[in-house]
């Protein structure tokens, strides 16, 4: 993969009145990546999306896209990005083809060039047979495909999407990610996507995990999960605080209380289960253990559970 930096964010901060939405965030995205911004509601990912989509300038810090400064060269940046918002931006009373035509005019496309490009995107996203249908009659998954076609009509080098699977059923979500990967492979596009869904985040080449406006960590899903270094145990008990303290004293192992249960990371979980049961008879209701997930990474880095109101 070409390692050219496409998006470079340095010490980015943003405040809404008294609430700090972003606090000193820094990371970069390289060419050809599918890069995810993962975080619960209120983590700052939507604010970051809006800044990258040029909806408003950064309050402090710097953002460079294709080596263009976001504050000084907004118009040039808009020519290089395609944006898919969480809320639909299609005109439901127009047909699929009419929506693409209108979008093309906004980017200075017309005539045969616009017709050719519209047909290319309709073919690429498997919706050529729906070109004459009004958008209001399409399923959620098909509407998302039209959104992608619209965003990519002017051949942007970067596709930025905010919670793109909102409202989609599981099958449509699978299709969405298949089309994103196809666009990356066929068109060479770099994709940046915000999500609060762990299964979506697994599709990304790398992730930036955000919490309360701060960058928690950056890395590939597998690399981040390997940092935990073993199994994750969940212990149900009626005396969580007491048991957490006793485990730390006796085994020099930290136990985090998450929703009234203990979460413990251990390199040999299957053996540690037996040791715990023998050490604290009558104090443990049940124990389960498994390999780490991205949610475990979030707990490991922040000390509390990943949550979302969605």
pLDDT digits (tens, 9 = 90+) for 54-78: 999 989 999 999 999 999 999 999 9
CATH 3.30.70 corresponds to the domain 229-291: yes
pLDDT greater than 80 at residue 308: no
Domains of the chain, by residue range, sit at: 5-80+156-219, 91-148, 229-291
Q: d(Cα 181, Cα 172) in Å, to the nearest integer?
A: 14
pLDDT greater than 90 at residue 215: yes
Residues β-bridged to residue 19:
16
pLDDT greater than 90 at residue 249: yes
pLDDT greater than 90 at residue 258: no
List own/partner pairs for 270-273 with CB under 8 A and 24 or more apart.
Answer: 270/231, 272/231, 272/233, 273/233
| pLDDT at residue number 307 | 65
In Å, how far are 12, 92, 179, 215, 225 from 60, measured between CA atoms? 6, 38, 35, 16, 32
| pLDDT at residue number 2 | 59
Class of domain 5-80+156-219: alpha beta
List the one residue out of 262, 257, 255, 264 whose CA is nearest residue 290: 264
Q: What does the DSSP assignment read for 59-116?
A: SEEEEEETTEETTT-HHHHHTTEEEE-SS--S-TTSBHHHHHHHHHHHTT--HHHHHH
Q: What does the DSSP assignment read for 243-257?
A: HHHHHHHHH---EEE
| pLDDT at residue number 309 | 39
| pLDDT at residue number 310 | 37
Q: d(Cα 85, Cα 162) in Å, to the nearest integer?
A: 5
| pLDDT at residue number 209 | 96
């Amino acid at each position: 993969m070409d390692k050219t930096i496409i998006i470079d964010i340095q010490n980015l901060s943003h405040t809404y009145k008294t609430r700090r939405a972003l606090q000193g965030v820094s990371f970069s995205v390289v060419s050809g990546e599918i890069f995810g911004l993962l975080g619960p509601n209120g983590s700052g990912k939507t604010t970051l999306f809006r800044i990258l989509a040029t909806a408003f300038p950064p309050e402090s810090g710097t953002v460079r896209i294709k080596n263009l400064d976001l504050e000084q060269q907004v118009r040039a940046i808009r020519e290089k990005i395609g944006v898919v918002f969480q809320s639909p931006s299609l005109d439901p009373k127009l047909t699929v083809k009419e929506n693409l035509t209108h979008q093309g005019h906004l980017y200075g496309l017309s005539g045969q060039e616009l017709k050719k490009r519209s047909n290319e995107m309709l073919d690429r996203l498997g919706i050529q047979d729906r070109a004459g249908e009004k958008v209001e009659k399409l399923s959620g998954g098909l509407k998302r495909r039209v959104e992608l076609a619209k965003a990519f009509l002017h051949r942007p080098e970067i596709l930025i999407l905010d919670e793109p699977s909102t409202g989609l059923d599981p099958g449509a979500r699978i299709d969405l990610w298949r089309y994103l990967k196809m666009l990356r492979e066929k068109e060479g596009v770099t994709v940046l996507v915000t999500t609060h869904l762990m299964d979506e985040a697994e599709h990304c080449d790398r992730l930036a995990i955000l919490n309360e406006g701060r960058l928690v960590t950056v890395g590939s899903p597998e690399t981040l999960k390997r940092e935990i270094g073993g199994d994750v145990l969940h212990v149900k008990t009626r005396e969580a605080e007491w048991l957490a303290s006793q485990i730390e004293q006796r085994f020099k192992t930290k136990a985090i209380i998450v929703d009234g249960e203990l979460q413990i990371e251990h390199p040999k979980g299957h053996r540690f289960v037996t040791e715990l049961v023998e050490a604290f008879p009558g104090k443990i209701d049940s124990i389960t253990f498994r390999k780490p997930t991205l949610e475990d990474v979030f707990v490991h880095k922040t000390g509390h559970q990943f949550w979302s109101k969605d």
